[in-house]
């Protein structure tokens, strides 16, 4: 990624800690305050969404902030925007900052589109003449030429969002803060936004983007940070951050789906899939996993595995041609290995099943699939199951 | 909240946009629109005239009593509107404050400025009645400008304090409403101060220490009639300066309180 040496810092976040007092009851009133102080209760608990966070965003960075829900990333963005004052530490901003925590903040339905642009602009710190200079660009981008003198309440919600987003990206600030706003408007408008972000990447403008979408992080950002439980978990290239984020999500999923359903018949003691290769594998590596099984009764069995991608079975492979060990009570292990170069990048799931050999009757399967991800090292767009091994030629 | 910030270009622009928006929206959807700004004090005058001049006959000893009365009511209304706008300002814009960072005191000032614009319109209407009633006007009337500034500063100070307090305790609005109702009768707005003097000079003097009462009586004195009892003639000496000390103290304390709490508005609203 393009890391300009000696780059000037745009935003310096040093040792920022932010905690909130969360009222235990709805105690915005005097009465509750009195009751609490009489009973010697605090009436609130402390919640610290940001705990000693430090990093620097340089001028010209397209910077991604990612994290799971409740990780503190929105609090961080609001602290950068100056909405929250940190309890400790400081945020230093170099240049004019245009925050868009939410699109269309301060929009008034009774005012016309034009008046709303000026009001919104004033809230962002622009003068009338500055907004007049950007006005044409904003309207052009929003494609709302014929509606600017109509009241906002007569706009469709899509039109409102388009107007708000156009102000956001056409506002001539040095630093743009965006919170989860990429998914607005219809497909054509989205395409326009994507093009705009592509352009902005090379324009020297600093953009800070908070998002859940690893696709946008990898597509647009040149740097990113992963926030977890109020601390910086990973800081660096978007690939690294995206990988860590995907991994964390998979782990979290694995932890939440603990409820094991009864999926084994009595004759089967256990059936497990254990991943041996990394959860996120590169396409030129091999996938390797073990299938473990143990039996309660002396029966002959076969095993099968299935690898799914987008709910589509991509590979199915059983052990009919293999000689298995049927010793009762003992744990047996089979190893499966697969080259991945033929598969497209993305998320795959492995399930294993066990069959009675003579009638090929299903007698057990793994309750929840094991997930692995083929890394998008070539930064290719998604789509399709197979790797893009074909070639184009212009004739 | 340094003075240089208040007058900075960015903040002036924002203040202007907020005041203009407020004005645009005020009579939204009403057929007569801005005309209401003038019609309201006109109707008020008609009512006051009928009630106090024809029935109650409170102002027997005061010349031009209807104008005297209207002026008092208009000034009181300004004070009530400015403090109430200020009180609601922060909480009403909670959604904005949680999403964007801008100087919070601007919205408090914008609320009081809206009230000030209303007052200006009302004063014009009062002026019309002064002409109709053939109230003699002298250069002395120019004192109204510093006096209204004094009243505005007092209202602004209270507005800052109430706005910040209302974020913490939503009871503030109700308390203030009750307080203002009591204060209305504790201020010589609809009755001549002479009526109180007849009962107890001591109480009349105490009432005049209230900056709002002092301003109303002074403006009546310079605009309408020298029958208006002012703090200068009635209390006199260093005690006449007490209302100004109160105004100054309120502004300083309120500003400090507001400043201390404004950085946490976004999370407390």
**Rounded to a whole number, what is the distance in Å from the CA of B207 to chain A's nearest CA?**
30
Does the pLDDT value for residue A122 go beyond 70?
yes
Could you tell me which chain A residue has the CA closest to the CA of B106?
A: A123
Tokens of A83: 């909405």
Global confidence as pTM:
0.78
Sign of CA dihedral A73, A74, A79, A80: positive
A83 interfacial to chain B (CB closer than 8 Å): yes
Q: Are B219 and B67 contacting, i.e. CB atoms less than 8 angstroms apart? A: no
What was the ipTM of the complex prediction?
A: 0.80
Domain definitions of chain A by residue range: 9-252, 268-374
Distance CA A138, CA B164 (A): 36
Residue with tokens 């990780």: A71
The neighbouring-strand residues paired with B16 are none
Listed in order, strand segments (DSSP E) in chain A are: 9-23, 44-58, 62-66, 88-93, 97-100, 175-179, 206-210, 223-228, 231-236, 268-275, 280-281, 286-295, 301-309, 312-318, 332-339, 346-356, 361-365, 370-374
CB contact under 8 A, B14 and A28: no
Rounded Cα distance between B97 and A73, Å, is: 19
Residue B15's domain spans which residues? Answer: 3-268
Mean pLDDT, rounded, for A160-170 = 85
When divided into structural domains, chain B yields a total of 1
A108 and B21: CB-CB below 8 Å? yes
Q: What integer pLDDT is reported at residue A256 of this predicted model?
A: 60
Cα separations in angstroms, B56 against B49, B68, B97, B191, B217: 10, 15, 49, 10, 21
Residues A14-71: tens digit of each pLDDT: 999 999 888 776 556 677 777 777 776 667 788 889 999 999 999 989 999 998 888 8
Q: Do B99 and A105 touch (CB under 8 A)?
A: yes
Q: Which of A78, A85, A119 lies nearest to residue B263, judging by beta carbons?
A: A85
- Cβ neighbour number for residue B241 with a 10 Å cutoff: 12
Q: How far is CA B69 from CA A292, B42, B263, in A?
A: 96, 13, 43
| Angle subtended by helix axes A157-170 and A128-142, to nearest 10 | 130
- Please count the CA atoms within 13 angstroms of the CA of A196 that sit on its side-chain side: 17
Question: Considering only CB atoms, which chain B residues are within 8 Å of A20?
Answer: 267
* pLDDT for A1: 43
What is the homologous superfamily of the domain A9-252 according to CATH?
P-loop containing nucleotide triphosphate hydrolases (3.40.50.300)
The 3-state DSSP class for residue A76 equals helix
Do B264 and A127 lie within an 8 Å CB cutoff?
A: no
Q: Which residues contact A129 (CB under 8 A, 6 or more apart)?
A: none
Domain A268-374, CATH among 3.40.462.40, 2.70.50.60, 2.40.160.20, 3.20.20.80: 2.70.50.60
R_g (Cα) of chain A, nearest Å: 27
Q: Which residues of A touch B9 (CB under 8 A)?
A: 127
From the CA of A88, how many Å to the nearest CA of chain B?
13
Token pair of A299 as six digits: 């029966």
Segment among A12-21, A200-209, A218-227 with least mean pLDDT? A200-209
Q: Is A109 on the interface with B (CB under 8 A)?
A: no
Q: What is the pLDDT of residues A104-121, one digit of tens each?
A: 788 888 889 999 999 988
Residue A270 has pLDDT above 90, yes or no: no
Model pLDDT for residues A365-386, shown as the tens digit of each residue: 887 788 898 887 777 777 778 8
Strand order in the sheet with A231-236: A97-100, A175-179, A206-210, A62-66, A223-228, A231-236
Taking only the tens place, the pLDDT of each residue in A61-101 is 999 999 888 888 889 999 999 999 999 999 999 988 888 88
pLDDT band at A2 (very low <50, low <70, confident <90, very high): very low
For A212-222, what is the mean pLDDT?
A: 84
User: Is residue A190 pLDDT above 80, yes or no?
Assistant: no
Question: Is A30 close to B267, i.e. CB distance below 8 A?
Answer: no
Q: What parts of chain B have a pLDDT lower than 70?
A: 1-7
| B117 alpha carbon, distance to own chain's centre | 11
Beta bridge partners of A227: A232
Q: Tell me the average pLDDT of chain A.
A: 85
Structure tokens at A120: 């919104």
> How much is the CA Rg of chain B, to the nearest whole Å?
19
**Interchain CB contacts (distance < 8 Å): A and B:** 67
């Amino acid at each position: 990624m393009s890391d300009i040496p000696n780059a000037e810092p745009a935003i310096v976040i040093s040792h920022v800690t932010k905690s909130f007092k969360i009222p235990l009851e709805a105690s915005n009133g005097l009465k509750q305050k009195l009751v609490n102080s009489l009973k010697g209760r605090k009436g609130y608990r402390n919640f610290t969404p940001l705990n000693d966070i430090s990093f620097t965003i340089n001028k010209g960075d397209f910077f991604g902030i990612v994290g799971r829900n409740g990780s503190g990333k929105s609090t961080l963005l609001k602290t950068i925007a100056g909405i929250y004052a940190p309890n400790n530490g400081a945020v230093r901003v170099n240049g004019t900052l245009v925050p868009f925590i939410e699109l269309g903040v301060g929009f008034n339905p009774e005012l016309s589109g034009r008046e709303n642009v000026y009001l919104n602009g004033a809230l962002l710190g622009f003068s009338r003449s500055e907004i007049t200079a950007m006005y044409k660009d904003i309207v052009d981008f929003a494609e709302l030429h014929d509606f600017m003198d109509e009241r906002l309440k007569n706009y469709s919600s899509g039109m409102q969002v388009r107007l708000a987003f156009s102000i956001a990206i056409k506002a001539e600030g040095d630093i743009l803060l965006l919170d989860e706003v990429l998914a607005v408007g219809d497909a054509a408008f989205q395409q326009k936004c994507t093009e705009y972000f592509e352009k902005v990447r090379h324009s020297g403008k600093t953009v800070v983007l908070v998002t859940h979408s690893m696709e946008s992080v990898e597509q647009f950002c040149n740097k990113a940070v992963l926030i977890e439980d109020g601390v910086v978990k990973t800081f660096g290239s978007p690939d690294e951050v995206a990988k860590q984020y995907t991994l964390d999500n998979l782990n979290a999923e694995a932890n939440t789906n603990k409820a094991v359903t009864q999926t084994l018949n009595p004759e089967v003691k256990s059936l497990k899939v254990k991943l041996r290769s990394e959860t996120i594998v590169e396409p030129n590596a091999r996938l390797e996993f073990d299938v473990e099984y143990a039996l309660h009764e002396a029966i002959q069995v076969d095993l099968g595995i299935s690898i799914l991608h987008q709910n589509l079975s991509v590979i199915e492979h059983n052990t009919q041609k293999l000689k298995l060990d049927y010793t009762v009570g003992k744990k047996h292990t089979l190893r499966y290995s697969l080259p991945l170069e033929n598969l497209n990048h993305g998320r795959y799931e492995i399930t294993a099943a066990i069959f009675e050999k003579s009638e090929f009757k299903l007698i057990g399967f793994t309750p929840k699939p094991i997930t692995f991800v083929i890394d998008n090292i070539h930064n290719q767009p998604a789509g399709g199951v197979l790797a893009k091994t074909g070639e184009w030629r212009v004739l | 909240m340094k003075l240089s910030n208040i007058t900075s270009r960015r903040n002036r622009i924002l203040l202007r946009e907020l005041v203009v928006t407020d004005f645009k929206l005020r009579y939204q959807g009403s057929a007569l629109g801005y005309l209401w700004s003038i019609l309201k004090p006109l109707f008020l005058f008609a009512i006051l005239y009928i009630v106090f001049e024809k029935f109650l006959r409170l102002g027997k000893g005061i010349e031009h009593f209807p104008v005297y009365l209207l002026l008092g009511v208009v000034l009181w209304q300004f004070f009530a509107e400015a403090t109430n706008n200020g009180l609601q300002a922060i909480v009403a814009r909670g959604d904005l404050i949680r999403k964007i960072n801008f100087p919070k005191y601007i919205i408090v000032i914008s609320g009081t400025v809206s009230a000030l614009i209303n007052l200006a319109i009302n004063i014009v209407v009062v002026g019309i009645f002064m002409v109709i009633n053939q109230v003699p006007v002298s250069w002395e009337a120019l004192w109204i400008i510093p006096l209204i500034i004094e009243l505005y500063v007092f209202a602004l100070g209270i507005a800052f304090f109430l706005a910040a307090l209302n974020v913490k305790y939503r009871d503030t609005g109700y308390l203030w409403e009750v307080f203002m109702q009591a204060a209305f009768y504790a201020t010589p707005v609809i009755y001549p101060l002479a009526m109180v003097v007849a009962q107890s000079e001591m109480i009349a003097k105490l009432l005049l220490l209230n900056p709002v009462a002092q301003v109303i009586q002074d403006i009546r004195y310079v605009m309408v009639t020298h029958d208006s009892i002012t703090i200068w003639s009635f209390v006199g000496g260093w005690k006449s300066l007490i209302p100004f000390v109160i105004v100054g103290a309120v502004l300083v304390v309120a500003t400090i309180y507001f400043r201390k709490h404004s950085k946490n508005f976004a999370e407390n609203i």
